[in-house]
Amino acid sequence: MLKKASIYLLLLAAVLIYLPGCKNYQKVLKSPDNELKYNTAVDLYESGHFKKAITFFDLVRTFYQGTKKGEHITYYTANSYFQIKDYQLASYYFKQYQQMYPRGKNSEEAAYLQAYCTYLRSPRFELDQTISYQAMSELKSFINNYPNSDKVSKARDLIAKLQFKQEEKDYNIALLYYKMGSYEAAITSFQNLLDDYPDSKSKELYLYYIGKTYFEYAEKSIPEKQKERYEKMVEAYNNLLYLYPDSKYLKELKPLSEKAMTYLK
């Protein structure tokens, strides 16, 4: 005669053979046996049926909360959402895992994946970058909390990509101001790019636009304002010359600087 445990395992196996067949699927969903639901969820998860696994995990989440199985449920749910590319809910459950099981074996992984999910939700640079800032904050928090993690290097790379995206957005705003003839706003924006991204690979470009914008601004200014703006143009040119003596932009700016110097004599 089979023992109770053996009968249970056979029943579970029989159910899983036909899952995800609709009838058997519904039978397990309606079953009062939480252990059967949990094991079914884990089997579905491990076999890659993440959406159906989530359904079962949701049914037994409260029942197992605070237990070892509850820890598994929270992490598996988060990773299931991650696998189906629902990064918002994945991030939510990875965060919940950290809060509920701070010493869990997957706490480091959950912290990284929470931040990574937010990173994946970061929109194109033309759009609002609130989520990008959130992702950077979460990635920095991960680095601070797990400085010895082998994922620190990846986290730093992701931060750099987010910063570049924000820089690209700021640059396009500055360029738009320039094209619109809003010279003061353009100059301020290009200067902010230099201040906010001191290690930028585009520093040379920003210096070029500051000089060019000051020149055009001076040309279109009333006489009382021209002297100051021509001086700023020459200063910008000299900065570019000093920092990038081989810059391709010097050829264009040099005659503008000479014209400005002529006015200042």
DSSP 90-146: HHHHHHHHHHH-TTSTTHHHHHHHHHHHHHHT---TTS--HHHHHHHHHHHHHHHH-
Identify whether the C-beta of residue 215 lies closer than 8 Å to the C-beta of residue 228. no
Over 60: is that where the pLDDT of 23 sits? no
* Model pLDDT for residues 145-188, shown as the tens digit of each residue: 999 999 999 999 999 999 999 999 999 999 999 999 999 999 99
Question: Quick one: pLDDT band at residue 105, thresholds 50, 70, 90?
Answer: very high
Q: CATH top-level class for 1-104?
A: mainly alpha
pTM here is 0.80
Say whether domain 181-265 belongs to CATH 3.40.462.
Answer: no
Q: What is the pLDDT of residue 8?
A: 45
Sign of CA dihedral 212, 214, 217, 221: negative
* Least confident window among 79-83, 223-227, 242-246: 223-227
Tell the burial category of 219 from Cβ atoms under 10 Å away from its Cβ (0-12, 13-18, 19+): middle
Cα–Cα distance, 121 to 217 (Å, whole number): 40
- Note whether 1-104 and 181-265 share their fold: yes
Report pLDDT for 110.
97
Domain ranges of the chain: 1-104, 122-180, 181-265
pLDDT score of 3 more than 80: no
**pLDDT > 70 in the chain, percent:** 91
Please state which of the ranges 24-28, 139-143, 188-192, 254-258 shows the lowest mean pLDDT: 24-28
**What is the average per-residue pLDDT within 106-118?**
97
